């Protein structure tokens, strides 16, 4: 088999799943050169060279990766911070290592307002109504609140988002995070104090995630997935970075009609052509968009766009890709990505998190250890139906320590969502440490609730 050097720039999010899918290549012998914020146990064990760069500053990553530039064929990353900061641009310019991610120009995570203005141009029918507030436009809070209340009068129930990325934190939804005019105004002022604010109409519906890969010319869609953003079962608790996700055996989700899926794909393809311009656009390579879609009674709306894979949803896709992933990477680099084969396999990700994560409870005073051996043993016995991917864990002093964010992604695979869910939960239950997880990811009751809700919205018609 041909040897291939792969650079992985990691914030300990979905990098373990990236390393895993590349390791499963039957045509290539990968060697991993990992640059990440800490010693992730999965990546340390599999890396040819492992380098810790705590802040992942672009200059530091370039310096570390540059030492091995002659041994690396291409690079990938699991963090939008690196992409938004121009990581691809700098690495390619300084080291010649081609990165399979978008260039800085097309990294939209840096501004929610910029996303909305882009959709005004390429995706207007799918763009919720919105207003942008800039703190420099107001000399005091009274004028800002008056303007905000005027916008609410026009938009109705709203969602309040910081313009700059906030990992879900800082986002407020009417009816969940505030339910009175006074509470909404206070939430708005708290966000405005930190920078610009995007206030959008609250779109009623059921959410899903839409991913697409590209080589800069071709646009290839991935199966639809869904993540769970709130910290507690029943979609209660604060917004987090995502507590888990799923994809079913079909290209679309159980509560989405095939005709609606087809219309969404066609609209996304048209919008992508407008976005990239004529011919091939080398800035758009890799997972070029991860759109949060809201399915409503009168079609769909795009809630936000990210220029990388969803941190849990990408794992659903990587664990069900039927093609050799190294081949896919080369095809993206060569401009030959015309299709991607995905298996008819359900994938459910359950994220184990620190007990205090997404709650009002104080974080533990000291790092606590977790034992993954039981989960790894179950994974081996399952024949690949259970996979365990450490996230915010680190090896230190011979122990595996839990960080402050999502700790472990436990994947269950199966021919049905229920089978995949049971496998995922068994994996989570085999973890030994101070972690918890949601138990309703892809549950039959949750799927039924989503289906019934969307049916009722369709019967009511567009609003």
Residue written as token pair 């680099």: 333
Tens digits of residue pLDDT in 299-351? 999 999 998 999 999 999 999 999 999 999 999 999 999 999 999 999 999 99
SS3 content of the chain, % helix, strand, coil (to 5): 35, 30, 35
Q: Count Cβ atoms below 10 Å from residue 462 Cβ, excluding itself.
A: 9
Q: Count Cβ atoms below 10 Å from residue 138 Cβ, excluding itself.
A: 16
**pLDDT value, residue 347:** 98
**pLDDT value, residue 463:** 63
Tens digits of residue pLDDT in 389-400? 999 999 999 999
Measure the CA–CA gap between 244 and 176, rounded to whole angstroms.
20
Whether pLDDT at 34 is above 70: yes
| 163, 193 Cβ separation under 8 angstroms | no
**pLDDT value, residue 169:** 56
Nearest to 402, CA basis, from 447, 351, 331: 351
Q: Count Cβ atoms below 10 Å from residue 32 Cβ, excluding itself.
A: 21
What share of the chain in percent tops pLDDT 70?
98
Mean pLDDT calculated for residue range 109-118:
92
Confidence of residue 460 (pLDDT cuts 50, 70, 90): confident
Measure the CA–CA gap between 280 and 297, rounded to whole angstroms.
36
The model's pTM is: 0.94
Q: Count Cβ atoms below 10 Å from residue 57 Cβ, excluding itself.
A: 14
Confidence of residue 446 (pLDDT cuts 50, 70, 90): very high
Q: Which residue has the higher pLDDT, 62 or 166?
A: 62
Measure the CA–CA gap between 428 and 348, rounded to whole angstroms.
12
Mean pLDDT calculated for residue range 104-123:
93
**pLDDT value, residue 53:** 98
Measure the CA–CA gap between 96 and 72, rounded to whole angstroms.
10
Domains assigned to the chain: 2-101 (3.40.50.720), 129-201 (3.30.1490.20), 206-447 (3.30.470.20)
| 102, 288 Cβ separation under 8 angstroms | yes
Q: Residue count of the chain, please give it.
A: 463
**pLDDT value, residue 110:** 85
Give me the chain's average pLDDT, please: 95
Torsion angle, alpha carbons of 164, 168, 169, 174, to 10: 100
Measure the CA–CA gap between 453 and 463, rounded to whole angstroms.
15
**pLDDT value, residue 1:** 77
| 376, 390 Cβ separation under 8 angstroms | no
**pLDDT value, residue 166:** 59
Q: Count Cβ atoms below 10 Å from residue 322 Cβ, excluding itself.
A: 10
Measure the CA–CA gap between 97 and 70, rounded to whole angstroms.
9
Mean pLDDT calculated for residue range 31-39:
98
Measure the CA–CA gap between 34 and 427, rounded to whole angstroms.
26
Cβ neighbours of residue 366 under 8 Å, at least 6 residues apart?
A: none
Tens digits of residue pLDDT in 223-252? 999 999 999 999 998 888 799 999 999 999
Angle subtended at Cα 76 by Cα 75 and Cα 82, rounded to the nearest 5 degrees: 110
Biggest CA–CA distance in the chain, Å, is 68
Nearest to 129, CA basis, from 180, 200, 179: 200
Nearest to 75, CA basis, from 54, 92, 93, 59: 92
Tens digits of residue pLDDT in 253-285? 999 999 999 999 999 999 999 999 999 999 999
Give the containing element (helix H, strand E) for 15.
helix 15-23
Nearest to 389, CA basis, from 42, 56, 45: 42
| 350, 424 Cβ separation under 8 angstroms | yes
Torsion angle, alpha carbons of 106, 110, 116, 117, to 10: -60
Confidence of residue 56 (pLDDT cuts 50, 70, 90): very high
Based on the number of CB atoms within 10 Å of its own CB, is 244 exposed (0-12), middle (13-18) or buried (19 or more)?
buried
Tens digits of residue pLDDT in 172-192? 999 989 999 999 999 999 999
Whether pLDDT at 19 is above 80: yes
Among positive and negative, which fits the CA dihedral 413, 14, 275, 196? positive
SS3 readout for 81-95:
HHHHCCHHHHHHHHH
The three-class DSSP label of residue 75 is strand
Contacts 24+ apart (CB under 8 A), 46-53: 46/19, 48/5
What share of the chain in percent tops pLDDT 90?
90
**pLDDT value, residue 361:** 78
Cβ neighbours of residue 61 under 8 Å, at least 6 residues apart?
A: 9, 35, 53, 82, 87, 91
Measure the CA–CA gap between 305 and 310, rounded to whole angstroms.
10
Q: Mean pLDDT lowest for which of 204-208, 353-357, 405-409, 433-437?
A: 353-357
Please give the DSSP secondary-structure letter assigned to residue 253.
Answer: -
Q: Cα separations (Å) of 42 from 54, 121, 159, 314, 390? A: 17, 43, 38, 17, 6
**pLDDT value, residue 426:** 98
């Amino acid at each position: 088999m041909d040897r291939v050097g792969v650079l992985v720039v990691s914030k300990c999010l979905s990098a373990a799943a990236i390393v895993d899918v590349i390791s499963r290549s039957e045509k290539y012998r990968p060697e991993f050169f990992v640059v990440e914020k800490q010693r992730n146990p999965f990546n340390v064990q599999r890396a040819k060279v492992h380098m810790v760069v705590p802040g992942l500053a672009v200059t530091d990553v370039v310096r570390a990766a540059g030492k091995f530039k002659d041994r690396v064929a291409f690079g990938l990353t699991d963090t939008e911070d690196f992409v938004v900061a121009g990581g691809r641009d700098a690495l390619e310019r300084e080291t010649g290592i081609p990165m399979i991610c978008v260039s800085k120009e097309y990294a939209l995570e840096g501004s929610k307002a910029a996303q909305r203005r882009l959709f005004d141009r390429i995706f207007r029918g799918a763009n919720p109504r919105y207003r942008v507030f800039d703190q420099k436009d107001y000399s005091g809070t009274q004028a800002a609140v008056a303007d905000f209340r005027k916008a609410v009068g026009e938009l109705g129930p709203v969602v309040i988002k910081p313009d700059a990325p906030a990992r879900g934190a800082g986002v407020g939804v009417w009816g969940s995070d505030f339910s009175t005019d006074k509470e909404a105004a206070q939430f708005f002022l708290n966000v405005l104090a930190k920078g610009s604010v995007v206030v959008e109409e609250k779109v009623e519906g059921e959410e899903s995630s839409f991913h697409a890969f590209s080589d800069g010319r071709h646009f290839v869609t991935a199966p639809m997935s869904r993540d769970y953003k709130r910290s507690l079962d029943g979609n209660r608790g604060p917004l987090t970075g995502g507590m888990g996700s799923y994809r079913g055996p079909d290209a679309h989700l159980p509560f989405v009609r095939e005709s609606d899926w087809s219309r969404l794909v066609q609209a996304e393809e048209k919008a992508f052509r407008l976005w990239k311009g004529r011919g091939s656009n080398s800035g758009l390579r890799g997972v070029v968009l991860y759109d949060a879609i809201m399915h409503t009674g009168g079609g769909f709306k795009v809630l936000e766009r990210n220029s990388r894979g969803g941190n849990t949803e990408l794992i659903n896709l990587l664990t069900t890709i039927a093609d050799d992933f190294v081949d896919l990477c080369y095809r993206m680099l060569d401009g030959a990505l015309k299709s991607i084969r995905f298996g008819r396999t359900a994938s459910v990700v359950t994220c184990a998190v620190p007990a205090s994560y997404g709650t009002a409870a104080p974080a533990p005073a000291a790092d606590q250890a977790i034992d993954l051996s039981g989960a790894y043993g179950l994974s081996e016995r399952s024949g690949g139906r259970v996979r365990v991917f450490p996230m915010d864990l680190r090896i230190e002093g011979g122990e595996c320590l839990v960080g402050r964010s999502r700790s472990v992604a436990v994947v269950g695979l199966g021919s049905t969502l229920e089978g995949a869910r049971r496998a995922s939960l068994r994996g989570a239950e085999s973890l030994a440490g101070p972690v918890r997880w949601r138990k309703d990811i892809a549950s039959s009751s949750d799927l039924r609730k989503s289906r019934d809700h969307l049916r009722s919205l369709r019967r009511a018609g567009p609003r």
